[in-house]
Amino acid sequence: MLNGYLRNQCYKETIELFELMGASDWGFDSYSCNFVLKACMELEDYERGREVIKRAVDHRVDGDKFLGSSMINFFMKFGDFDSARRVFNQMISRDVVCWNSMIGGYVKGCYYVAAFDLFLEMILCGVRPSAITMVSLVQACGGMRGLELGKRVHGLVLVFGLGTDVLVHTALIDMYSKLGEHERARSVFDIMPAKTLVSWNVIISGYVQNCLVYEAFDLFQKLVLTGGGFDSGTIISLLQSCAQVADLESGKVLHGYIFRKGLDINVILCTALVDLYSKCGALKEATFVFDRMKNRNVITWTAMLVGLAQNGHAEDAISLFGKMQEEGVTANSTTLVSLVHCCAHLGSLKKGRSVHARLLRYGYAFDVVNRTALIDMYAKCGNINYAERVFEDVSFFKDVISWNSMITGYGMHGQGHKALDLYRQMLEEGLEPNKTTFVSLLSACSHSGLVDQGRSLFLSMESDHNIRANEKHYACYVDLLSRAGHIKEAEVLIKQMPFQSSCEVFEALLNGCRMHKNIDIGIKAADYLLSLDATNPGIYIMLSNIYAEARRWDAVDHIRGLMRGRGLKKTPGYSLIEVGKQLHAFFAGEDSHPNSVEIDRILENLKSELEALGYVPDTSCVLRDVDEAMKIKSLWRHSERLAIAFGLLHTPAGSLIRISKNLRVCGDCHTVTKYISKVVKREIIVRDANRFHHFVDGKCSCNDYW
């Protein structure tokens, strides 16, 4: 009866019947204790299980090998390795099953050395290992990342005559795949006398793990041709392979297989679909699958959240996290670090600090990846001091990525000298810079106008660190020279590049031409860019701006006509400001905001005060052929001014105002914001498309160089 309850998953009834037996005259034996102990394991009831074991010992029925193995398995399941070993040591007679229980338990608990020590003891005791023994040892080799040891265990498999066992073969395939030895894995698979679906799934999964996507699909086709069926496990591996290479079409074909073959649509399979569609940018399909899932675990939520974040929907990702909390799903490290990146993208310091608190609460904040993400977030949210605090924490093990992140942060905030000082400190501590380090350094020099230092760094890359400059390094160097007005030198550098010039390099040159009004080189750069990508609206806009600043309105009209003819639109300028727990967006020229009247009143008052201090509008920033009055009116409707006015309206006097803008701050808005910071006696931080501007008492941290 007990066995019947157990087989039908009636675990509570199994325990209740056992209690009834103990209270009656029937008593119980080792078999009944074994059944109820398994029920306790299924219910994860450690205390009840210990009580069963105590009663078995008190009634002296614990000497049975069958029950002994169950007791070991019970303790191992709950991580009580000492109790399991005591039970094992006290057993008078131990068969291979008992030894396997101990060895397998150690392997599952990642006590690999203890597992091998016990295996040697088992051999010395004259007990011949079984296939299960060898499977556990093979799994231990995979866990230890021990290829040489794995080869020796493979040899022992052959010595003990287990070379034809399908379980052992499957374990060997899995081990070699995890250790990157896909050819060895395939050779084991090919010599298998009988292949199960599990074996096929393991080898296909192994190919996917080793990024051999096409090989995985070839093997799947062979499986289908053999007439063997496949299950959801097969499809999950193939969906993961499609996600690796963003192969949306193959993924959709696999999605169709799921329905045509009537496969078990479980949470793992649905999560793989959500992940695939998210990584392919197909958020509509990802949301469709996600919304129709009956059961969703933290991995599912995280896959959807990461998909939204990586496809530029940071606000939606944060909103989804709120729903996840409402459903009582506890976030994991990946969930939270994805939210950190969302907060960085939005420039939302309050939300970022809240996520940081969660990372601390759950014990994830000490991971080097998460700490590096926090440094990046605080830097992008305008609080470089917080980024420094995270970086300088003595408990923080810093790898080269962490140093790069802090150097990048200094660069964004116009603190090029600090970035260079940190680089020197990094070298003193014996850390070797990588390619990204020099991208960060050259970018920092570019934002601070440190031309000589940038030249020196560019030359030292190969001479001192054996790092050959790639396209990103050249783009940063061209940007450095172009921003500083060395347009001719930048053009010569591009011609000397050892490879074909990229869009990024010419965009940097074009931007410098716009800043320094070099029409001739600007036109050449734009023509080259359009020959590479005629559908990029940013190139047309930059070229149009060059013509507009030169007051060549006929050329401006021609460029805008080309854009209209090709269906291209200018990205609208907008600014974000966080007030309370909400982000507010303002678009240039907008007058539909609920607080529009109050915002206009504040801006009108500010305009009068600024003009009294000597402010004169710089209408050259208005790149439209309209009269002067319209130009001035247009300037005062720029998105950052609307956001600043809203901040003044809804935040306490004297408090800091943070603005995020998607485009570069124009010269007049930069001047106006300096004046506003002096008049209202507030610090104003503006993050534009290029960098951060800290406005305090009429001055900006960029020293008017951006």
The DSSP string of 493-558 is HHHT-SSPPPHHHHHHHHHHHHHTT-HHHHHHHHHHHHHH-TT-HHHHHHHHHHHHHTT-HHHHHH
Q: What is the pLDDT of residue 33?
A: 80
CA-based torsion, 526, 529, 530, 534: positive or negative: negative
Q: Compute CA 104 distance to the chain's CA centroid, rounded to the nearest angstrom.
A: 34
Q: Which helix (H) or strand (E) holds 577?
A: strand 574-579
Contact in structure between 408 and 376 (CB atoms under 8 Å): yes
Q: Which helix (H) or strand (E) holds 576?
A: strand 574-579
**What distance in Å separates the CA atoms of residue 550 and residue 542, rounded to the nearest whole number?**
13
Q: Compute CA 216 distance to the chain's CA centroid, rounded to the nearest angstrom.
A: 25
Q: Name the 3-class secondary structure at 586.
A: strand
Q: What is the pLDDT of residue 156?
A: 96
- Residue 400: name the closest of 465, 333, 476 by CA: 465
Q: Name the 3-class secondary structure at 676.
A: helix
Contact in structure between 482 and 498 (CB atoms under 8 Å): no
Q: Which helix (H) or strand (E) holds 661?
A: strand 657-661
- Over residues 432-486, the pLDDT tens digits come to 999 999 999 999 999 999 999 999 999 999 999 999 999 999 999 999 999 999 9
Mean pLDDT for 239-249 is 94
pLDDT band at 263 (very low <50, low <70, confident <90, very high): confident
Q: What is the pLDDT of residue 64?
A: 67
Q: Compute CA 506 distance to the chain's CA centroid, rounded to the nearest angstrom.
A: 30
What does the block give as tokens for 623? 């790149």
Contact in structure between 615 and 544 (CB atoms under 8 Å): no
In the chain, helix, strand, coil percent, each to 5? 70, 5, 30
CA-based torsion, 126, 132, 134, 136: positive or negative: negative
Residue 450 DSSP one-character state? -
CA-based torsion, 330, 334, 340, 344: positive or negative: negative
Amino acid at 591: D
Q: Which helix (H) or strand (E) holds 687?
A: strand 684-687
- Over residues 619-641, the pLDDT tens digits come to 877 767 678 888 889 999 999 99
* Residue 65 CB burial class (10 angstroms; 0-12, 13-18, ≥19): middle
Contact in structure between 36 and 69 (CB atoms under 8 Å): no
Q: What is the pLDDT of residue 13?
A: 81
Q: Name the 3-class secondary structure at 578.
A: strand
β-pair partners for 687: 660, 692
- 469-566 folds as 1.25.40
What number of helices (H) and strands (E) belong to the chain? Answer: 38, 6
Whether the pLDDT of residue 705 is over 90: the answer is no
Q: Residue 152, by phi and psi: left (phi above 0), alpha (psi -120 to 50) or beta?
A: alpha
pLDDT band at 27 (very low <50, low <70, confident <90, very high): low
Task: Return residue ranges of the chain for CATH 1.25.40.
Answer: 469-566
Q: What is the pLDDT of residue 700?
A: 93
**What distance in Å separates the CA atoms of residue 195 and residue 553, rounded to the nearest whole number?**
74
Q: What is the pLDDT of residue 261?
A: 86
Whether the pLDDT of residue 101 is over 70: the answer is yes
**What distance in Å separates the CA atoms of residue 484 and residue 636, rounded to the nearest whole number?**
29
The better pLDDT of the pair 202, 592 is held by 202
pLDDT band at 61 (very low <50, low <70, confident <90, very high): low
CB under 8 Å to 30, separation ≥6 — which residues?
56, 61, 62, 63, 64, 66, 67
pLDDT band at 24 (very low <50, low <70, confident <90, very high): low
CB neighbourhood size of 337 (10 A):
24
Whether the pLDDT of residue 365 is over 90: the answer is no
What's the farthest any 2 CA atoms get from each other in the chain?
106
β-pair partners for 696: 699
**What distance in Å separates the CA atoms of residue 170 and residue 178, rounded to the nearest whole number?**
12
Mean pLDDT for 532-540 is 87
> DSSP letters of 691-705?
-EEEEETTEETTTT-
- Over residues 660-669, the pLDDT tens digits come to 999 989 999 9
- Over residues 377-406, the pLDDT tens digits come to 999 999 999 999 999 987 778 899 999 999
- Nearest 10 degrees: CA dihedral of 252, 256, 262, 266? 20
Contact in structure between 63 and 46 (CB atoms under 8 Å): no
Q: Residue 312, by phi and psi: left (phi above 0), alpha (psi -120 to 50) or beta?
A: left
pTM, full prediction: 0.77
The better pLDDT of the pair 270, 43 is held by 270
**What distance in Å separates the CA atoms of residue 706 and residue 703, rounded to the nearest whole number?**
8
Mean pLDDT for 504-527 is 90
**What distance in Å separates the CA atoms of residue 596 and residue 567, rounded to the nearest whole number?**
32
Whether the pLDDT of residue 315 is over 80: the answer is yes
Min mean pLDDT across 23-27, 81-85, 173-177, 698-702 is at: 23-27
The angle at the Cα of 542, spanning 539 to 548, to the nearest 5 degrees, equals 140
Q: At what angle do helices 384-392 and 368-380 cross, to 10 degrees?
A: 160
- Over residues 63-87, the pLDDT tens digits come to 566 788 888 988 988 889 999 998 8
Mean pLDDT for 679-686 is 96
